[in-house]
Amino acid sequence: MTENGNVMFAEDVHKSFGRLEVLKGISLTVKNGERVCIIGASGSGKSTFLRCINHLEKIDSGRIEVNGHLIGYREDKGRIVEDTENNIAKQRSEIGMVFQRFNLFPHMTALENVIEAPIRVRKISKAVAVKQGEALLARVGLADKRDVYPGKLSGGQQQRVAIARALAMRPALMLFDEPTSALDPEVIGEVLDVMKALAFDMGTTMIVVTHEMGFAREVADRVVMMDDGRIIEEGPPSHFFDNPREDRTKQFLSKIL
């Protein structure tokens, strides 16, 4: 966290894939403990922006900082140049990310998935990692699944393991990229409940790309509407859902609420 309380700072971020400009000057600041939900139609650039925060996609221009550090880049004699893989890995350790697909290692148990990165990246002892990993699995309601492989877990259980795995690195910022979109309807609630607990019990700083408007209304401090690669409106849920300003926001909400 920086002196002004910012955990994530993005300024005039542009990203294109070939001739297709996906992000057209995104600027967003997220403060410590803040929960920001990003909504918008498919193709509006939401997931691409999230992937840029974690440097899974390289930005074309602008800057993104987490905890006051440039992500993926460093300043060299007044120019911004791409950083080394080593430094990028260290920067990423500050950011937890939960994907639409769970991306668990299929040959590792739930606990082994959770402790892998802390041991390899944070260099903590296996004994400490196991103790912390068991506590995290208990926190997401999966204490009894520690020795179970992903293939034997439901989609909701796999996503909860993925959340525990991201938390194991003790990140300053958690990113969620439509974490319930690949789940069966009956297990969506169990994942959202875990995310609510992170928000309310742990005070986790979160940026969540979601189509779950009930979750956004209940959990978000701020809702951000993206359309065609731009942020067109943002505000607290009360303003956003009850009195949106932009016609495009009204149109989008009328279709999904």
Answer yes or no: are the C-beta atoms of 38 and 240 closer than 8 Å.
Answer: no
Estimate to the nearest angstrom the gap between the alpha carbon of 144 and the chain centroid. 26
| Alpha-helix runs per DSSP H in the chain | 46-53, 85-92, 110-120, 126-139, 155-167, 185-201, 213-219, 237-242, 247-256
How does 68-90 read in b/e, with b if 16+ C-beta sit within 10 Å?
ebbbbbeeeeeeeeebeeeebee
Cα dihedral angle (203, 207, 209, 213), rounded to 10 degrees?
40
Strands 222-227 and 230-235, sheet pairing: antiparallel
- CA 137, CA 157: separation in Å to the nearest integer? 10
pLDDT of residue 119: 94
pLDDT of residue 1: 61
pLDDT of residue 87: 86
Estimate to the nearest angstrom the gap between the alpha carbon of 166 and the chain centroid. 10
Please write the tens of the pLDDT for every residue from 210-249. 999 999 999 999 999 999 999 999 999 998 899 999 999 9
Report residues of the chain scoring pLDDT below 70. Answer: 1-3
The pTM of this model reads 0.93
